Amino acid sequence: MQRRTRSEKGISMSMKFRGILSATGAAALAVTAFAPASAAPPEKSTATWVTAEIAQVGELEGFAGTSHLIGFSGNTNGFSDVAVVSFNCPEGQLPSWEPDSGCEEVGIVGMYAYDAEVSVDKKLSQATIDATVRVYEGESETGEPIWGQARELNVTMDATGDVVTSKDRQEECVRTDKERPAVVTSGQVGELDLAGGVGKIDQVKQFCKF
């Protein structure tokens, strides 16, 4: 038996987990952040990310632990990932890294796709992700990734607030961020229910003139 909760405590404690999901996106953006000085033509880049997470209390078949934090992300460039972080917690306790929570992390399962279909409307009011993600099980002796079980990731998210826009200028580049809070109105990854997950739709545009 599993019980899903959208408790603010469960969401606020997971900034560490959100960093796990956003690391790949940040790296991808960093690659395009600054072009070599020799690149004469102006350069434009746009990346739109969809991220959310949900805390669940109860055992999940195929995963260790008694409480779980499930998060996902998707990029309009085709990358998508899912992470399931499992904890052993006191009965009824939300998953947490806080030392006084009584929870202990017992495992992380990562799943990835590189051909995801991610759609976001112009107003950042709705987003969908459709992908087949595979469990990453490590590397072979030759350094090739070993892929395990495949699961279907299907998500629809709707915005729950206004767009917040910020700009940053560094040397020859101007970066514009548009972020909008959103909630998962329907979604699952394999047998795992994602409905009620809280997250955001985030668009980054960058223009560099050399």
CB contact at 8 A, 189 and 150: no
pLDDT at position 17: 53
Residue 80 burial (10 A CB sphere; 0-12, 13-18, 19+) = buried
pLDDT at position 172: 86
Owner of token pair 């917040």: 164
106-143: buried (b, 16+ CB within 10 Å) or exposed (e) per residue?
eeebbbbbeebebebeeebebbbbbbebbbeeeeeeee
φ and ψ of 81, to 5 deg: -145, 160
Name the residue type at position 54.
Answer: I
pLDDT at position 19: 53
State the SS3 of 61-101: CCCCCCEEEEEEEEECCCCEEEEEEEEECCCCCCCCCCHHH
pLDDT at position 41: 66
pLDDT at position 209: 84
pLDDT at position 31: 35
pLDDT at position 171: 83
pLDDT at position 7: 37
Which parts of the chain have pLDDT scores under 70?
A: 1-41
Name the residue type at position 125.
Answer: S
CA gap 90, 67 in Å, rounded: 9
Whether the full predicted model's pTM is greater than 0.85, yes or no, is no
For the chain, domain boundaries: 2-208
